[in-house]
């Protein structure tokens, strides 16, 4: 189910910030009223596609910061796994140099609440707890506005890396709408002409929600 238009599920979890510091009680509440947030999930540390994505986000951090957007990653690995990966050189499979926060979802509850967990718990015929599917998160990405509302989401299957440029494009579209009240057509990019509000009240409704 889509979370678009709904309050982003809250959480308090361990995270690694600034590439080396483990903190308790990391939450998205700190960004309410201050910044837009790109909150993205990836399957696992020390894998193949995942480091390309996390490093790609870091390489575009100047662009996100220009737009006053916080970038936060999350996987089901422990904070210690995150720390080790963040302190491993990139030429050895690590992501050293990544500075934005990476959240630990060891219990998988954050992934479940954002509906990106690639499987589910169940019971077999012997009454034993089992997990059907992959016990990791799909490649979900959520754009959350300053009110804590999810305004955009996209979820890729495990083999499919996502586009950081597309994430920036959607940020630009949302911020253009918030600033000018104009809606953005297909393939719109910053600097392109947008569309004026229609007279049927649809745009006014969208602007108020």
Please say if the pLDDT value at position 23 is more than 50.
yes
- Looking only at the bridges linking them, the beta strands covering 36-41 and 69-75 are parallel
Q: Is residue 72 part of a domain?
A: yes
Given 141, 161, 181, the domain boundary residue is 161
pTM above 0.85, yes or no: yes
Q: Which among 181, 171, 166 has a CA at the least distance from the CA of 66?
A: 171
Residue 58 CB contacts under 8 Å (≥ 6 apart), including other chains: 95, 97, 98, 99, 100
7 assigned to some structural domain: no
Confidence of residue 100 (pLDDT cuts 50, 70, 90): very high
Number of domains in the chain: 2
Q: What is the CATH number of the domain that holds 43?
A: 3.40.30.10
- DSSP characters over 39-90: EEE-S-SS-SHHHHHHHHHHHTHHHHHHTTEEEEEEESS-HHHHHHHHTS-G
Identify whether residues 48 and 135 lie together within a single domain: yes
pLDDT for the residue 93? 94
Task: Name the residues annotated as catalytic.
Answer: 50
Q: Assess whether pLDDT exceeds 90 at residue 74.
A: yes
Domain enclosing residue 131, as ranges: 13-161
> Which one-letter DSSP state was computed for residue 127?
S
Q: Is residue 142 part of a domain?
A: yes
């Amino acid at each position: 189910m889509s979370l678009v238009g709904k309050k982003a599920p809250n959480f308090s979890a361990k995270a690694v910030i600034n590439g080396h510091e483990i903190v308790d009680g990391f939450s998205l509440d700190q960004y309410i009223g201050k910044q837009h947030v790109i909150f993205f999930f990836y399957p696992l540390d020390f894998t193949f596609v995942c480091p390309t994505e996390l490093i790609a986000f870091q390489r575009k951090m100047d662009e996100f910061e220009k737009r006053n957007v916080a970038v936060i990653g999350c996987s089901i690995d422990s904070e210690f796994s995150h720390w080790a990966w963040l302190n491993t050189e990139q030429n050895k499979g690590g992501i050293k140099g990544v500075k934005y926060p990476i959240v630990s979802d060891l219990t998988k509850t954050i992934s479940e609440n954002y509906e990106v967990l690639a499987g589910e718990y169940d019971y077999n015929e012997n009454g034993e707890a089992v997990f059907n599917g992959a016990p990791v998160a799909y490649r979900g990405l959520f754009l959350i506005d300053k009110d804590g509302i999810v305004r955009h989401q996209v979820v890729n299957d495990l083999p499919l890396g996502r586009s950081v440029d597309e994430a920036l494009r959607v940020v630009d579209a949302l911020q253009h709408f918030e600033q000018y009240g104009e809606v953005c057509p297909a393939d719109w990019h910053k600097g392109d002409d947008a569309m004026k509000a229609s007279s049927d009240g649809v745009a006014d409704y969208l602007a108020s929600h």
